[in-house]
């Protein structure tokens, strides 16, 4: 089994503030990330596809097809954006990197077959580094599980 | 437990399928199909899975793994034009996938024993593209 991984970057701002919590609770839970003006990160995103080798190309996934999919549905809509204000999924959902990973999984799943119409490759992993020290990953078992299908919680 | 040793080599390659036309190769491989070839600084991570030995406390002596990797990979790959100098790439397209597969083939028999085995080979062709190969494991696990 082969797994092909591409690394992408985007820069975006966010503010962590849960509407269910009071102002004081939000400050306690999110600390600096609750700053009302928001703040930004250079996000590093890895997207992995897995499958068998195509003998004609010597490849398991075409990186150009993966790039087109990820650029169109993730990087362009997210890069240099205010995630809370400009990405609809985060209008009511806190844009933690956990939720960002879930939203990226949803976008990739919805558009996967258009980019990769054959049986293989399949989406295998979504991994986001918010900073060099904070890393969030959705693995193959959670990519394929039907639980939480589609939406951020 | 999985333990990993990292090595690096620099090599040039060209990715083309000789049975396809020039436009097909361009469409499929893009710049990687440039017939003159080009190079990468490859970074390879080789992972071995097993239980730590009761006496030595090691899954495998990483010095020994390094020696195997120097002999089986760095020697035949480093500062080579893979298509011309490193079989099987005279007839197999040297994509990162096929390089990972070839490294697996070379290294697996040297590290495998009844209590441990090769687990994964990661080939990083650029900082933005890498391939993991897990051997003949099925894709739908």
- Arithmetic mean of pLDDT, A131-142: 94
In chain B, residues with a C-beta closer than 8 Å to the C-beta of A60 are 97, 131
Q: Which two tokens stand for residue A134?
A: 């904070």
Q: With contact defined as beta carbons under 8 Å apart, do B33 and B25 qualify?
A: yes
Q: With contact defined as beta carbons under 8 Å apart, do A46 and A125 qualify?
A: yes
Determine, for residues B15 and A58 on separate chains, whether the beta-carbon distance falls below 8 Å. Answer: yes
Q: With contact defined as beta carbons under 8 Å apart, do A152 and A103 qualify?
A: yes
Determine, for residues B97 and A60 on separate chains, whether the beta-carbon distance falls below 8 Å. Answer: yes
pTM of the model: 0.92
Determine, for residues B97 and A64 on separate chains, whether the beta-carbon distance falls below 8 Å. Answer: no
In chain B, residues with a C-beta closer than 8 Å to the C-beta of A64 are 30
Q: Which of B7, B108, B123 is nearest to A59 (CA)?
A: B123
CA distances in angstroms from B22 to B26, B30, B47, B62, B123, listed in the order given: 6, 11, 38, 45, 27
Superfamily of segment(s) A2-144: 6-pyruvoyl tetrahydropterin synthase/QueD (3.30.479.10)
CA distances in angstroms from A51 to A47, A125, B107, B130, listed in the order given: 14, 12, 22, 14
Task: List the pLDDT tens digit at each of the 141 positions of chain B.
Answer: 999 999 999 999 999 999 999 999 999 999 999 999 999 999 999 999 999 999 999 999 999 999 999 999 999 999 999 999 999 999 999 999 999 999 999 999 999 999 999 999 999 999 999 999 999 999 885
Q: How many residues does chain A have?
A: 153
pLDDT in tens, A21-72: 999 999 999 999 999 999 999 999 999 999 999 999 999 999 999 999 999 9
Determine, for residues A7 and B127 on separate chains, whether the beta-carbon distance falls below 8 Å. Answer: yes
Q: Which two tokens stand for residue B139?
A: 């894709």
What pLDDT score does B140 carry? 83
In chain A, residues with a C-beta closer than 8 Å to the C-beta of B28 are 57, 62
For residue A144, the chain B residue with the least C-alpha distance is: B140
pLDDT of A148 > 50? The answer is no
Instruction: Please tell me if residue B141 touches chain A, with a CB cutoff of 8 Å.
Output: yes
* Euclidean distance between CA atoms B49 and B123, whole angstroms: 18
Q: Which of B54, B66, B55, B50 is nearest to B107 (CA)?
A: B66
What pLDDT score does B53 carry? 94
| All structural domains of chain A with their residue ranges | 2-144
Instruction: Please tell me if residue A64 touches chain B, with a CB cutoff of 8 Å.
Output: yes
CATH number, domain B2-133, options 3.40.190.10, 3.40.50.300, 3.30.479.10, 3.10.690.10: 3.30.479.10
Determine, for residues A4 and B96 on separate chains, whether the beta-carbon distance falls below 8 Å. Answer: yes
Distance from CA of A7 to the nearest CA of B (A): 5
pLDDT of A7 > 70? The answer is yes
**Confidence class of residue A144 from pLDDT cuts 50, 70 and 90?**
confident
What pLDDT score does A97 carry? 96
| ipTM value for the complex | 0.92
pLDDT in tens, A61-113: 999 999 999 999 999 999 999 999 999 999 999 999 999 999 999 999 999 99
Determine, for residues B138 and A140 on separate chains, whether the beta-carbon distance falls below 8 Å. Answer: no
- Arithmetic mean of pLDDT, A127-135: 96
| All structural domains of chain B with their residue ranges | 2-133
């Amino acid at each position: 089994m082969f797994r092909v991984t591409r690394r992408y970057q985007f820069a975006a701002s966010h503010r962590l503030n849960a509407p269910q919590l009071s102002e004081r609770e939000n400050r306690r839970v999110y600390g600096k990330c609750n700053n009302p003006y928001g703040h930004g990160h250079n996000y590093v995103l890895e997207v992995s596809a897995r499958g068998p080798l195509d003998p004609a190309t010597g490849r398991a996934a075409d990186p150009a097809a993966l790039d087109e999919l990820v650029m169109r549905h993730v990087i362009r809509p997210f890069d240099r954006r205010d995630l809370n204000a400009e990405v609809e999924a985060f209008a009511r959902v806190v844009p933690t990197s956990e939720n960002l990973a879930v939203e990226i999984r949803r976008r990739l799943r919805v558009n996967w077959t258009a980019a990769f119409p054959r049986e293989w490759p399949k989406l295998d992993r979504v991994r986001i580094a918010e900073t060099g020290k904070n890393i969030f990953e959705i693995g193959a078992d959670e990519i394929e599980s039907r639980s939480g299908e589609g939406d951020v919680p | 437990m999985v333990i990993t040793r990292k090595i690096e080599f620099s090599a040039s390659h060209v990715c083309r399928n000789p049975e396809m036309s020039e436009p097909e190769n361009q469409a499929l491989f893009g710049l990687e199909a440039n017939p003159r070839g080009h190079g990468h600084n490859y970074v390879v991570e080789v992972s071995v899975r097993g239980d730590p030995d009761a006496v030595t406390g090691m899954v495998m002596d990483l010095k020994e793994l390094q020696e195997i990797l120097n002999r089986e990979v760095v020697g035949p790959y480093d500062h080579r034009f893979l298509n011309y100098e490193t079989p099987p790439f005279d007839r197999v397209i040297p994509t990162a996938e096929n390089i990972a597969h070839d490294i697996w083939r070379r290294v697996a028999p040297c590290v495998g024993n009844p209590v441990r085995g090769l687990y994964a080979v990661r080939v990083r062709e650029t900082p933005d593209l890498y391939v993991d190969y897990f051997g003949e494991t099925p894709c739908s696990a």
